Structure 1
Amino acid sequence: MKNLHRFIYLSLVVLAVACRPYEDRITPADPNGTKLDFTVTQTPGHDNEVTLESKTKDVIPFWDYGFGTTKAAKAVVILPFAGDFFIKYAAYATGGPKTDSVKVTVSKNDPNYFASPMWNLLTNGAAGKTWVWAVDVPGGYCFGNGSGGAQKPEWWTVGAAGLKDKGVIDDEMKFDLDRNANFAITHNGVTTKGSFAMDTLNTTIKINSADISWGNMVTYNIIKLNANELTLVQQGSGWRNIWIFKRKGFVF
């Protein structure tokens, strides 16, 4: 009987412990107890290139360098633009993340990143370049559509009168590389700001948080870009929509 009582008592003790809340049995690690140890090092003579190294023990690192993120313990990243930027570091331990940041100064836009002449043709660097509808383009039509390889509108054609009716004839678009790949469109006196991503290898451009004048919110193919002319198309299968712009102040 004594053995039976002892068994019942022990069983009740085990049951009581098992029923205690999980949180009561675990003492979370204090994230403030994590001592951050990391380095941010710019390459001498090429300060756009930055080496990030996490030396904090027993954590999962996370870096946000403004133009991307990485979870690598050690990584080499590129800050393409001139200016002051904050590189954020977070160390994730058992009790949660602990964060810090480092300010770095980049002396100039990265000549390697912006090696393609397309960047300067489109933006004029940090100074910027403004583009408007090419209403005086030879032939008179600067918007419309045509066959899959058309260089200018063939089927549906729109010139100055059509742009005026649509209310977009006075639209202005500005591209610049001042601390970012910036885009702005001014329509009816209101300026909407965004950014752009240009693929110089595949000659495409995507506008973010805005769009080109009378645009379709797509990734556009660049079929002509020189100091004074910019022609964009929305490429379809056997057709394309076509936008023809010119540098503000240029006359054909």
Structure 2
Amino acid sequence: MKIFKYLIWLFAFAMAIVGCKKDTYNLSERLDKSQVKFEVVQDLETDPGGNTVILINKTPQTIAMWDYGTGKSNRDRDTIRFAFAGDYVIKFSAETGGGVVEMDPVTVKVTADNLSYVDDPLWNFLTGGVGQEKTWILDYGDHGIFDGPVSYYEPLTNWQQMQDGTAKLGWAPAWKDNQWIIQEADKASTMTFSLKGGPFMKTHKVTENVDESGTYFLDSDGKTITTSGATILRSQSFIANATNWNNKLVILSLTENQLQIGVRRTNSEGDYLYSWNFISKEYADNYVPPDTGPKLPDAGFDPKFEAGELLTMLTGTSGQTWGIDGKGNAIDWIAKGNGWTKSSNDSRDWGWNASWDAVADNSWIRFEKNGMKYFRNQSGVVTTGTFSINEATNEVTLNGELLIQNPGNWMSPAVATFKVVKAFPGEADTKGIWFGTSYDVPKDEWFAFHYIIQ
């Protein structure tokens, strides 16, 4: 059997069969190599070809450090499986109180393929199957699947939550409106997963100016991927934002045409999950955009009012009370006439949060037609002022007070004049009204609050 020269020819599937990982350790002094005992045993009953290998740390008061090429383990007893015939190198080190003791590597010989270990739909989706390879690229939002190359999810988001629809998306920025995320040149970057003789991985990274070759381990049960010698495609400007780009990265979705891999953000911005969004190059090369015609603005955007109609919408017959729709959809970013939020939870924590929940539950505003009076109840404190309407621009100006506030929060409206950007004449009692409180000129985007009748 041919002996592979490099560790990239190492293919191991690891699954723990006895959980012996310690919760706490009482480490000894540094040991001599002769004092460190471990075993690497091929289970020939399970696999006559030697594909199944049991790793055993027999040295008390040490932390096991196994490296089998495409994965690593700290378990005292672990089981790995090699799908392909060949010679494989397993490294073992023992961490002691006096330091790490590195042992001589052990080579095991596998004499036959056992391709049942890659007989899984996820392996086929990722690679095209045994003897095949598949190339992936980041999705810049041009192929009908993702809005852009990266999305933001809550830190512990996993495969199952994505499948059952309970995953909490924080932000899905469209690249065309947020080109700071990644350079356009990286549209030419590629990432290829292969099963031609082993689990090989290669990347071509344009802005990182590197071509990588390595191996990978797909845990189809745990829905994670580990890479060695190469990392997934990512934005060069995001590299410093995370400390782990290799080990047990969560797979959020994987189909024939799309792949999402999660990387935990660990910098000062706070814990969050980057979802790097990929599409297969074959799909991208053959994608034909549907002819949908020009995108229409949201219903109610840039409303047209008859003379006095906006005043009547705000005040009703004589006076009307409004509150922020905190339990529904409180805020939105409306770009070129189109918003994206469906509920307050769509921007939960980074936008809408618990402090806004409290404010919305305990505050209201009121417009009265007689005297054009304006009232605000801010968490139990009622203040008064007046208001005026510019019917030519659908702008409302408050005199003496502002809209409902959340002091210290970046979304708290600080302007006395706001624009009615979405409204539904004759349907305000069921659909409310959207007040645009800030406008981003380059994006043609309004940030707006949704008020409903109380």
TM-score range, shorter chain: 0.5 to 0.7
Of 226, 250, 266 in structure 2, the residue corresponding to residue 221 of structure 1 is 250
Distance 2:108 2:123 in 1: 27
User: Is 1:248 the counterpart of 2:281 in the alignment?
Assistant: yes
C-alpha deviation, 1:50, in angstroms = 6.6
Distance 2:89 2:150 in 1: 45
Q: Is the 8 A contact 2:149 2:276 kept in 1?
A: yes
State how many pairs are aligned.
196
User: Is 1:132 the counterpart of 2:126 in the alignment?
Assistant: no
Of 229, 234, 239 in structure 2, the residue corresponding to residue 209 of structure 1 is 229
Q: Is the 8 A contact 2:53 2:81 kept in 1?
A: yes
Q: Is the 8 A contact 2:153 2:170 kept in 1?
A: no
Q: What corresponds to 2:124 in structure 1?
A: 120
C-alpha deviation, 1:160, in angstroms = 10
Q: What corresponds to 2:215 in structure 1?
A: 195
Q: What corresponds to 1:5 in structure 2?
A: none
Distance 2:273 2:80 in 1: 36
Q: What corresponds to 1:171 in structure 2?
A: 189
Could you list the per-position Cα deviations for residues 59-92 of structure 1 after superposition, in whole angstroms to 9, with x for gaps in the alignment? xxxxx996699xxxxx99755232321679xxxx
User: Is 1:183 the counterpart of 2:201 in the alignment?
Assistant: yes
Q: What corresponds to 1:157 in structure 2?
A: 174
Could you list the per-position Cα deviations for residues 142-176 of structure 1 after superposition, in whole angstroms to 9, with x for gaps in the alignment? 2233342356952x432599377353111110112
Normalized per residue, the structure richer in strand is 1
Q: Is the 8 A contact 1:204 1:221 kept in 2?
A: yes
1:158 aligned partner, one-letter code: W
Q: Which consecutive residues of structure 1, in runs of 5 or more, have no partner in the other structure?
A: 1-38, 53-63, 70-74, 89-98
Distance 2:118 2:134 in 1: 16
Distance 2:262 2:43 in 1: 42
C-alpha deviation, 1:221, in angstroms = 1.9
SS in 2 for 1:169: helix
Tell me: CA distance 1:46–1:176, structure 2 relative to 1, closer, same or farther (3 Å): farther
Distance 1:227 1:132 in 2: 13
C-alpha deviation, 1:230, in angstroms = 0.7
Tell me: CA distance 1:50–1:143, structure 2 relative to 1, closer, same or farther (3 Å): closer
Q: Is the 8 A contact 1:150 1:240 kept in 2?
A: no
Could you list the per-position Cα deviations for residues 183-221 of structure 1 after superposition, in whole angstroms to 9, with x for gaps in the alignment? 210123852112223332331223223211116443432
Distance 1:66 1:45 in 2: 18
Q: What corresponds to 1:106 in structure 2?
A: 111
Distance 2:67 2:275 in 1: 37
Q: Is the 8 A contact 1:232 1:242 kept in 2?
A: yes
What is the root-mean-square deviation in Å for CA atoms of aligned residues?
4.8
C-alpha deviation, 1:129, in angstroms = 1.3
Distance 1:153 1:222 in 2: 18
Distance 2:182 2:42 in 1: 53
Q: What corresponds to 1:141 in structure 2?
A: 147
SS in 2 for 1:227: coil
Distance 1:207 1:40 in 2: 24
C-alpha deviation, 1:245, in angstroms = 1.0
Q: Is the 8 A contact 2:135 2:282 kept in 1?
A: no
SS in 1 for 2:193: strand
SS in 1 for 2:188: coil
Q: Is the 8 A contact 2:191 2:204 kept in 1?
A: yes
Distance 2:114 2:79 in 1: 14
Tell me: CA distance 1:161–1:127, structure 2 relative to 1, closer, same or farther (3 Å): farther
Tell me: CA distance 1:165–1:138, structure 2 relative to 1, closer, same or farther (3 Å): same
Distance 1:51 1:238 in 2: 36
C-alpha deviation, 1:239, in angstroms = 4.3
- If asked which structure has higher relative contact order (CA below 8 Å, sep 6+), I would say 1
Query: Is the deviation greater in 213-222 or in 123-132?
Result: 213-222
User: Is 1:83 the counterpart of 2:105 in the alignment?
Assistant: no
C-alpha deviation, 1:41, in angstroms = 8.3
Q: Is the 8 A contact 2:151 2:277 kept in 1?
A: no
Q: Is the 8 A contact 1:42 1:51 kept in 2?
A: no
Q: Which consecutive residues of structure 2, in runs of 5 or more, have no partner in the other structure?
A: 1-40, 56-65, 91-103, 155-166, 288-454
2:84 aligned partner, one-letter code: A
TM-score normalized with structure 2 length: 0.34
Distance 1:206 1:213 in 2: 14
Distance 2:226 2:46 in 1: 33
